Structure 1
Amino acid sequence: MRKTKKKNKIYLPDPKFNDSLVSRFVNHLMKNGKKSVAYRIFYNAMKKIDLIKEREEKTSLEIWKEGLKNVMPHIEVKSRRMGGANIQVPIPISSNNKITKAMKLLIDCAIIRKEKTMSDKLASEIWDAFKEQGEAVKRKENIHKMAEANKAFSHFRF
């Protein structure tokens, strides 16, 4: 192979939950290098999830991880040029990229919500993802539908 394998980045665990997945999510949430603001948004969203949940025995972190798992796409389509046409070829996603795509889907869908603060938006989007509702889950399902529709071109994977 010509390319060298990309080294996986090691994320230090966050201060509150001691989880490296949280610090990875906060890095995606961060804008203009303001990590403390991103941490504040995430932790406030976790507090709001604690207030939202009624009869759930799970903690807010477990709810966030379950929501992230519900948003995670397993297959995507990539454009390939075959002859004179562009073909959408379904390709399975690596486990590292699945997590990244799920995080970006959650954040992007939280941004377009109508609540007042970003922590409110993020908390409600995480809760909807946990309940398998909301915009992020719809986008994941659209990705899977596109891959299913173009299943005939799956042999062009190379």
Structure 2
Amino acid sequence: MSRRGTTEKQIEKPDPIYRNRLVNLLVNRILRNGKKSLAYRILYGAMRNIRRATKKNPLSVLRQAVRRVTPNVTVKARRVGGSTYQVPIEIESSQGKALAIRWLLVASKKRPGRNMAFKLSYELIDAARDNGNAVRKREETHRMAEANRAFAHFR
């Protein structure tokens, strides 16, 4: 650890159209090989598809999807006395949000479909309705943490 103290968290800038930090976080996770304009095109296409499919504000659907996928606890491998235990730990909201975004993108990439915008839009819609692979991943993580609650004292 640094002796100089902790650094201040950098605040993400909002995106140009929706003026939302969450959208910018998602764009930065979609980003591949520095092609940010392509990442914006994918996300804005997904937002258009969400508006067409649900007739709701796509930003509220996105927020609800991320909220439904965000985990409260996760498990961390801890080695104690030659054996490895899955120790449940509580995570803060920023880390939970990052995990949720990652899970949403992984789940949408695994979906069958035409292009990434369609896959992402339908994964976000499913997550907002509390089903889909990303929500299943969160439930699986919570189940694993609950099953290993006996090892919580190894924290």
Alignment TM class, shorter chain as reference: over 0.9
Cα distance per residue 1:77-125 (max 9 Å; x no partner):
0011110100110000111101100000000100000011000000000
Indicate which of 135, 140, 144 corresponds to 2:142. 144
Query: The residue matched to 1:81 in structure 2 has which SS?
Result: strand
Partner in structure 2 of residue 64 of structure 1: 62
- RMSD, aligned CA: 1.1
* Residue 7, structure 1, aligned to residue 25, structure 2: no
- Post-superposition offset of 1:10: 1.8
- Post-superposition offset of 1:8: 1.7
Structure-1-length-normalised TM-score: 0.93
Looking at structure 2, the residues matched to 7 and 29 of structure 1 have their Cα atoms a distance apart, in angstroms, of 25
| Ranges in structure 2 where 5+ consecutive residues have no aligned partner | none
1:92-103 → structure 2 map (5 Å cutoff):
92-103=90-101
Question: Identity across aligned pairs (percent)?
Answer: 40
Partner in structure 2 of residue 21 of structure 1: 22
Alignment coverage as a number of residue pairs: 153
- Post-superposition offset of 1:21: 1.5
Looking at structure 1, the residues matched to 127 and 113 of structure 2 have their Cα atoms a distance apart, in angstroms, of 16
Cα distance per residue 1:24-56 (max 9 Å; x no partner):
1100111111111000100010000011115xx
Query: The residue matched to 1:69 in structure 2 has which SS?
Result: helix
1:41-56 → structure 2 map (5 Å cutoff):
41-54=42-55
Given residue 63 of structure 1, which amino acid in structure 2 is its aligned partner?
Answer: V
- Post-superposition offset of 1:6: 4.7
Query: The residue matched to 1:27 in structure 2 has which SS?
Result: helix
Query: The residue matched to 2:102 in structure 1 has which SS?
Result: helix
Query: The residue matched to 1:12 in structure 2 has which SS?
Result: coil
Looking at structure 2, the residues matched to 45 and 125 of structure 1 have their Cα atoms a distance apart, in angstroms, of 10
Structure-2-length-normalised TM-score: 0.95
| Ranges in structure 1 where 5+ consecutive residues have no aligned partner | none
Looking at structure 1, the residues matched to 10 and 134 of structure 2 have their Cα atoms a distance apart, in angstroms, of 25
Looking at structure 2, the residues matched to 9 and 135 of structure 1 have their Cα atoms a distance apart, in angstroms, of 31
Query: The residue matched to 1:116 in structure 2 has which SS?
Result: coil
- Post-superposition offset of 1:65: 0.5
Indicate which of 86, 101, 104 corresponds to 1:88. 86
